[in-house]
Amino acid sequence: MFKNLFLKSTAIFIGLFLFIFLAVPIVQVFYASFLDQNGHFTFLNFYDFFQSALFVESLYNSFYVASMSVVLASFFAIPLAYFTARFNFKGSVLIQSLGFIPLIMPPFVGAVAMKLLFGTNGSINLMLDQWFDFKIPFMEGLNGVIFVESIHYFPFILINLISSLNNIDRTMEESAQTLGSKGFRLFRRIVLPLSMPGYIAGASLVFLKVFDDLGTPLLLDVNNMLAPQAYLRISSIGINDPMGYVIGVILVLTSIAAVWVAKLALGGKDYSMLQKGGGGMVKRNFLPHQKLLAYLVVFLILFLVLSPHIALALLSFGTIWSFSILPDAFTFSHYKAVFENSVFIKNTMLYCSIAALIDIVLAFFISYIVLRTKFVGRQLLDYIAMSALAIPGLVLGIGYLRTFYSVNLPWNDKPLASWWFMIVIILAVRRLPYALRACNAVLMQISKYLEESAESLGAKKTTIFRKILIPLMSGGLLAGFITSFSTATVELSATIMLVSTETDAPLAYAIYSYMQTAAGRGPGAGFGVIGVLIVAAGTYLSQLIIEKNYKQRGMEAKID
Partner 1 sequence: MSDSIIEIKNINVSYGSNHVLKNINLNITNKDFYTFLGPSGCGKTTLLRLIAGFEKSQSGEVFIGGQEVSDLNPWERDVGMVFQNYALWPHMTVYKNISFGLEEKKIDSKEIKIKVAEVLELVDLKGLSQRYPYQLSGGQQQRVALARTLVVKPKVLLLDEPLSNLDAKLRVQMRKELLELHHKLDITTIFVTHDQEEANAMSTNLAIFNEGVVQQMGRPVDLYNNPTNAFVANFLGTTNVIEGVFQNSVFTSKNGMVIKDIGKDAKGTSVLLRPQNLYLENKSNSLEEFEGTVENQEFLGNIVRYVVNIKNHSLVLDTMHEVDKKIYQPKEKITIFLDSKKIKFL
Q: Return the number of the residue (176 or 302) whose C-beta is nearest partner 1.
A: 176
By CB under 8 A, which span of 144-152, 268-276, 451-459, 521-529 interacts with partner 1? Answer: 268-276
Q: Which one of 10, 67, 163, 181 is in contact with partner 1 (CB under 8 A)?
A: 181
Q: Which one of 1, 5, 179, 444 is in contact with partner 1 (CB under 8 A)?
A: 179
Q: Does 42 bind partner 1 (CB under 8 A)?
A: no
CB of 386 to partner 1, least distance (A): 25
Q: Which one of 3, 188, 189, 466 is in contact with partner 1 (CB under 8 A)?
A: 189
Alpha-carbon gap, residue 376 to 481, rounded angstroms: 28
Q: Does 174 bind partner 1 (CB under 8 A)?
A: yes
CB of 190 to partner 1, least distance (A): 6
Nearest to residue 493, comparing CAs of 108, 85, 52? Answer: 108
Q: Does 285 bind partner 1 (CB under 8 A)?
A: no
Measuring CA to CA, how many Å separate 96 from each of 55, 104, 279, 409, 537? 40, 14, 17, 49, 18
Q: Torsion angle of alpha carbons 51, 52, 58, 59, nearest 10°? A: -10
Q: Does 463 bind partner 1 (CB under 8 A)?
A: no
Q: Residue 310 carries which side chain, given as an amino acid letter?
A: I
Q: Return the number of the residue (123 or 167) whose C-beta is nearest partner 1.
A: 167
Q: Does 273 bind partner 1 (CB under 8 A)?
A: yes
Q: Return the number of the residue (195 or 440) whose C-beta is nearest partner 1.
A: 195
Estimate to the nearest angstrom the gap between the alpha carbon of 221 and the chain centroid: 22
DSSP for 275-287, please give it. -SS---PPPBPPP
Q: Return the number of the residue (53 or 273) whose C-beta is nearest partner 1.
A: 273
Alpha-carbon gap, residue 394 to 400, rounded angstroms: 10
Q: Does 175 bind partner 1 (CB under 8 A)?
A: yes
Q: Does 176 bind partner 1 (CB under 8 A)?
A: yes
Q: Decide: 492 and 427 in contact? Cβ < 8 Å.
A: no
Q: Does 190 bind partner 1 (CB under 8 A)?
A: yes
Q: Return the number of the residue (182 or 466) whose C-beta is nearest partner 1.
A: 182
Nearest to residue 166, comparing CAs of 205, 189, 194? Answer: 194
Q: Does 188 bind partner 1 (CB under 8 A)?
A: no
| Secondary structure class of 4 (helix, strand, coil) | helix
User: Applying CB under 8 A, what is the total number of residues that bind partner 1?
Assistant: 26
Alpha-carbon gap, residue 227 to 254, rounded angstroms: 12
Q: Does 274 bind partner 1 (CB under 8 A)?
A: yes
Residues 6+ apart with CB under 8 A from 67: 207
What residue spans of 122-241 are helical by DSSP H? Answer: 123-132, 142-166, 170-178, 183-186, 192-212, 215-219, 226-232
Q: Return the number of the residue (193 or 377) whose C-beta is nearest partner 1.
A: 193
Chain residues that interact with partner 1, rule: CB under 8 A: 169, 171-172, 174-182, 185, 189-190, 193-194, 196, 269-271, 273-277
